[in-house]
Amino acid sequence: MSRIAIIGGGISGLSAALRVHELATEQNRDVRITLFENSDRLGGVLRTERIGEYLVEHAADMWITNKPEANGLCERLGLADRLIPTDAKFRKSLVLRGGKAYPVPEGFQLMVPEQAWPMLRSPLLSWCGKLRLLGEAFVRSRRDGADESLASFVRRRCGTEAFERLVQPLVGGIYTADPEKLSLKATLPRFIDMEREHGSLIRAALRSSRAKSSGTSGARYGMFVSLPNGIEELVTTLTRRVAEIADIRCASPVQRVAWMPLSEGSDEDVQATFTIDSVEHFDAVVLAVPSFVAARLLAENHPGFSNELNRIEYASTVIVASGHRLADIEHPLDAFGFVIPHIERRKLLAVSFTSRKFPGRAPDGHVLLRTFIGGALQPELCELDDAAILEVVRRELSELLGVRGEPDFIRVLRHTRAMPQYHVGHLDLVARIQGEMQKTPGLALAGSYLTGVGIPDSIASGEAAATKVMTCRNVSRRSNSST
Ligand SMILES: Cc1cc2nc3c(=O)[nH]c(=O)nc-3n(C[C@H](O)[C@H](O)[C@H](O)COP(=O)(O)OP(=O)(O)OC[C@H]3O[C@@H](n4cnc5c(N)ncnc54)[C@H](O)[C@@H]3O)c2cc1C
């Protein structure tokens, strides 16, 4: 029998555990899985809580379906029939300008106006800004394929106003990032391809048949799903399954992972036995923890590798979840939420009208709001204590949405160093990290800091890590010998 350790019980680690088991079953191998989790619960940042009649997500509240891994996992867990789409009734986003929220012009997809007329009628840009944005079709294209920040790319192609008023809040909202540092290649490479292949984003969009029929704006909300009991339903179902196949150890923070080559000298023959916290031995290890934790665990054995992992920065955010009577809010809340450009000099990043996305998450006549602050552009706000955060949020919700009276509940949810930042050069950095990883076949990394920040990406990274450790010679040799 071979022994595999998975460190980290978030969605990446849980997915890795299930995939190891599935591969072992397919290949008729005897593998023992141990999952170590720091906290006393599994799921990592993913958590759903019932507060009275409200269903409150602590972090993610939906996932995108154009990446297949999350839906694929749901299918394998018997959850496919339970997936729910976002409510079509309010499927749009608003952006703040001059203290007032306006809809993202129809057909505007993150940085491309696919339709001219709604853009020309929108109060979100001045006439100069609109003409400059539509002039994107005539801007000379860059085809060298070099990595570039989101800010540099959008200013160059669409103009400063479109960047500051639309793209920064819409894209910044997804990545809670500093757009001057955010790598376009690592986050939204399709826009680089559009420039390279068609010479312009607008021309590329006009040529795409998808563009002509999409009819949506901002985030492509029609592509997102959740589950009736929230994201926790995925976590609990997956956890139940993993508990049947693995030894799960909660409240077990790993401090150190070390390994010793079994046979020295010959390159591909070098196999490692991994030692966790100097006591337990494993044939392979999946590190499904944030990169700065992985760096710490590997520091003693592999300082160079650890330094590379430490170069990935993280941002923090605070979500204030609150439940209100609709009668206490002046704004009609006829959207999924609004985002706030940095240039508006507000403290809030965005407000999600959460129960508009998924009805039934607030009692009748009430609404669930999730207000985001902090992120890479205003990190100091995450340092405030709860009372100061609540004061900021209440004041701005009152000014921007006309929220009055006492909420049914209000809760501060902190996410410290929870959002990996894909800075320019990220893909090269990850390639170097993965290159180092190849030198130790029994070691694999998983998590949202590698090749995508969302739930489907995290699941994909866990499954890829499982595949890697299952093909290493330590595991195949030992598990084969027992069959
Ligand atoms: C506020 C917020 C909102 C988000 N919204 C969305 C969204 O709407 N849609 C979407 O698709 N994605 C969203 N995401 C991203 C998504 O939630 C993450 O990509 C994903 O959950 C990351 O999972 P993970 O397992 O890689 O990491 P984590 O969830 O961070 O899990 C890592 C685990 O490792 C454990 N650990 C740490 N150190 C140790 C140690 N020494 N020993 C053992 N265990 C350890 C931790 O306790 C944790 O359980 C959001 C993220 C955040 C923070």
- Pick the residue whose CA is nearest to atom 10 on ligand 1: 454
Q: Among positive and negative, which fits the CA dihedral 295, 456, 93, 130?
A: positive
Task: For residue 306, give both structure tokens.
Answer: 């650890």
Question: Ligand 1: which of 352, 448, 449, 457 to mutate, most ligand atoms within 8 Å of CB?
Answer: 448
Token output for 307: 């330094």
Question: What letter does residue 141 receive in the DSSP assignment?
Answer: P
Q: What are phi and psi of 32, to 5 degrees?
A: -110, 125
Torsion, CA 282, CA 288, CA 289, CA 292, rounded to 10? 90
pLDDT in 10s for each residue of the chain, 483 residues? 899 999 999 999 999 999 999 999 999 999 999 999 999 999 999 999 999 999 999 999 999 999 999 999 999 999 999 999 999 999 999 999 999 999 999 888 888 888 888 889 999 999 999 999 999 999 999 878 789 999 999 999 999 999 999 999 998 878 899 999 999 999 999 999 999 989 999 989 888 755 455 445 555 778 999 999 999 999 999 999 999 999 999 999 999 999 876 555 555 545 568 888 878 899 999 999 999 999 999 998 888 889 999 999 999 999 999 999 999 999 999 999 999 999 999 999 999 999 999 989 999 999 999 999 999 999 999 999 999 999 999 999 999 999 999 999 999 999 999 999 999 999 999 999 998 888 888 999 999 999 999 999 999 999 999 999 998 877 777 776 444
According to CATH, the topology of domain 80-89+314-420 is Polyamine Oxidase; Chain A, domain 2 (3.90.660)
Ligand 1 in reach of 61 Cβ (< 6 A): yes
Ligand 1 atom with the smallest distance to the CA of 296 is: 41
For residue 60 and ligand 1, the question of a CB distance below 6 A is answered with: yes
Of 1.10.3110.10, 3.20.20.70, 3.30.1330.40, 1.20.1260.10, the CATH number of 105-212 is 1.10.3110.10
Rounded-to-integer distance, Cα 377 and Cα 165, Å: 15
Beta carbon of 436 within 6 Å of any ligand 1 atom: no
- Ligand 1 centre to CA of 287 (Å) is 13
Determine the distance separating the centroid of ligand 1 and the alpha carbon of 454, expressed in angstroms: 9
**For the domain bounded by 2-45+230-313+423-481, which CATH number is listed?**
3.50.50.60
Phi, psi of 11 (to 5 degrees): -65, -30
Q: Could you tell me the CA-to-CA distances from 289 to 43, 51, 297, 339, 404 in Å, in that order?
A: 12, 29, 10, 30, 41
Kindly give the distance from the C-alpha atom of residue 181 to the centroid of ligand 1, in angstroms, as a whole number.
22
- Ligand 1: centre distance to CA 135 (Å): 41
Contact 13, 7 (CB under 8 A): yes
Residue nearest to ligand 1 atom 53, measured at CA: 418
Ligand 1 atom nearest to CA at 418 = 53
Q: For the chain, how far is it from start to end, CA to CA, in angstroms?
A: 9
Residue with tokens 């757009």: 179
| Domain extent listing, the chain | 2-45+230-313+423-481, 80-89+314-420, 105-212
